[in-house]
Chains A and B, each alone.
Chain A
Amino acid sequence: MASDLGDLYQEVILDHNRQPRNFGDLPGANRRAEGFNPLCGDRVTVSLTLEGDVLKDIRFQGSGCAISKASASMMTETMKGRTRAQAERLFQEFHRLLTEDSGAPDAASLGKLVVFSGVREFPIRVKCATLAWHTLRAALDSAHGIASTE
């Protein structure tokens, strides 16, 4: 496999694509949003239980490419137990990781999410990697939101 393809489809991404974590509906969720990528028609729903300022639990549903599914799956793992402020910071860091060549993002805070740095070489796929993240933001911003990558 060409090295940039190898960087994109890293084993951990393929694993989350095959077996997404926190997949399914979240009974008792008090926040929910649907995300939509008009380019491919993919949809994702992010449901969460927000207790005060803390994302107590989070799950996602939907269909999508390996990048969007793995990104959603790893996002839910990372977000569980975070505060809203922490979630927003992670969103910013993750976005920088995907789009900025210089200004190395805070790798420590992103943890294993740095596997998505390979997406940078595939600009058209950035939307796939950020769909669930935009959707999470919409869920946090309103009780019933629709997020779009456009």
Chain B
Amino acid sequence: MTRPGDLLAAAPARKAPAAFDVERVRADFPILRQTVFGKPLVYLDNAATAQKPRAVIDTLTRFYEVDNANIHRGLHQLSERSTAAYEETRAKVRRFLNAAEDREIVFVRGTTEAINLAASSYARPHVGRDDEVLITTMEHHSNIVPWQMLCEEKGARLRVAPINDDGELLLDEFEALLGPRTRIVSVAHVSNALGTVNPIRRIVEMAHRRNIPVLVDGAQAAPHLKIDVRDLDCDFYTLSGHKLFGPTGIGVLYGKAALLEAMPPYQGGGDMIASVTFEKTIYNRLPHKFEAGTPHIAGVIGLGAAIDYLESIDPEGRAAHEQALLEHATRRLAELPRLRIVGRAKEKTGVLSFVIEGIHPHDIGTILDREGIAIRAGHHCAQPLMDRFGVPATARASFALYNTREEVGALESGIRKVLGVFR
């Protein structure tokens, strides 16, 4: 169970408050206005990447048309403006995550790079032969492979906490796996393939009781839940800008300052140094120590615009809308013959994965595509999880704040078409 308050609003299915108007939100996303194969686009692949509001697109254009310059070095006006916008975004992200300090926010390419950074700079010096790294069955490949690589290098062991048939983490088994050799826990806040919301606060409590730090993969949580890293008390938190209605190629690693301070740099280069001689280099202070080279400046500023946009929307109304939509879709699809929903956790957000008896998800995806409906069909970069459920793949509809009940209706009719083709 997630504690109330982990979800933006643990609201039951009820009408969204007047303040949240999905049609107004939709009007902010230019891409949604198109037709695909003559049908209105129904975009239900938000867990793969979310669409961008006009505000983000305009900010990127404006940046390149007006402010573009390299940061942290130019003495000229443009560099001053781009540096200010870049660093203001760091402060925005800090507020968005409720981190204590700006220097705890490191810009990276995305969650994948954030996890690799933590694995490389934090875990590598701490993990030795026969030590253990603990993850869960529902992790994305990006939260499996970096740890696997590290364990292979060190002769350490990757331990995996199991889940139940509903796709919920088995907390007792998780706790039993926390041992004297466990050096770090890395766990998804929200599962990308199932939508399960993990009880992060309890996971962190269990780990911290044994002085084990916890990394939380927040790629799928940030677009749906209110994130408070101090309340969660996690040691690292990651997010990807493009799933948060921002640009691709930009993401965030949050780390507690004391941990980041003690970590060696991830990459060497410009911007991460205080001074360089051929004999010795003094590294820059946080967070610049971890931002070698010219960063994705436009991406960072675009991410800032995405956060501004999200914060301009009534959070309770939005959460209620999203939760009601997921519940509605779950009810409608559960009634369809031969269809089985994969992932029925009590706490879920954003994702509806399903399989249909005798029909491969790719065939479902192709037929829905011709109806203008974009879903994901495949293993969702979570092959071990697919193995756990005994399926090679699932079809996944994933929702964002701009999706509607009408679109759920289109999905349902589309699936009926699929059932018609494969009688």
Residues of A that sit less than 8 Å from B by CB: 1-2, 4-5, 8-9, 14, 17-18, 39-43, 63-67, 69, 122, 124-125, 128
Contacts and interface: CB of A to CB of B under 8 A. Distances in A.
A9 B421 contact: yes
Interface in B391-423: 392-393, 417, 420-422
A67 B421 contact: no
Contact of B393 (A1, A40, A66): A40
B377 A40 contact: yes
Given A40-B379, A41-B386, A122-B366, 12 more contacts: A1-B417, A1-B421, A2-B370, A5-B370, A14-B422, A40-B362, A40-B378, A42-B393, A65-B363, A66-B360, A66-B422, A125-B366
Q: Which size bracket describes the interface of B in this complex?
A: 20 to 34
A8 B366 contact: yes
Q: Among the interface residues B363, B370, B383, B417, which one has the most CB atoms of the partner chain A within 10 A? A: B363
A122 B369 CA distance: 11
Nearest to A5: B370
B263 interface: no
Given A5-B421, A41-B393, A65 B360 contact: yes
Nearest to A124: B366
A125 B361 CA distance: 12
B212 interface: no
12 contacts: A1-B417, A1-B420, A8-B366, A9-B421, A40-B362, A40-B377, A40-B378, A40-B379, A41-B393, A63-B392, A66-B359, A66-B422
Contacts of A2: 37, 370
Contacts of A63: 360, 392
Contacts of A39: 378
A110 to B, nearest CB: 23
Contacts of A42: 392-393
B367 interface: yes
B367 A40 contact: no
B70 to A, nearest CB: 37
Contacts, number: 56
A7 to B, nearest CB: 11
A13 B5 CA distance: 51
Contacts of B386: 41
Residue of B362, B379, B393 contacting most chain A CB atoms (<10 Å): B362
B192 to A, nearest CB: 15
Contacts of A4: 370
Contact of B362 (A14, A43, A65): A65
A118 B379 CA distance: 25
Contacts of B392: 40-43, 63-64
Contacts of B359: 66
A63 B386 CA distance: 13
A41 B370 contact: no
Which of A40, A67, A69, A128 is the most central at the interface, judged by chain B CB atoms within 10 Å of its CB? A40
B326 to A, nearest CB: 25
A76 B383 CA distance: 29
B413 to A, nearest CB: 13
B115 to A, nearest CB: 21
Contacts of B360: 63-66, 69
A69 B422 CA distance: 14
A42 B417 CA distance: 24
Interface string B322-361: 0000000000000000000000000000000000001111
Contacts of B378: 39-41
Interface in B363-385: 363, 366-367, 370, 377-379, 383
A121 B380 CA distance: 25
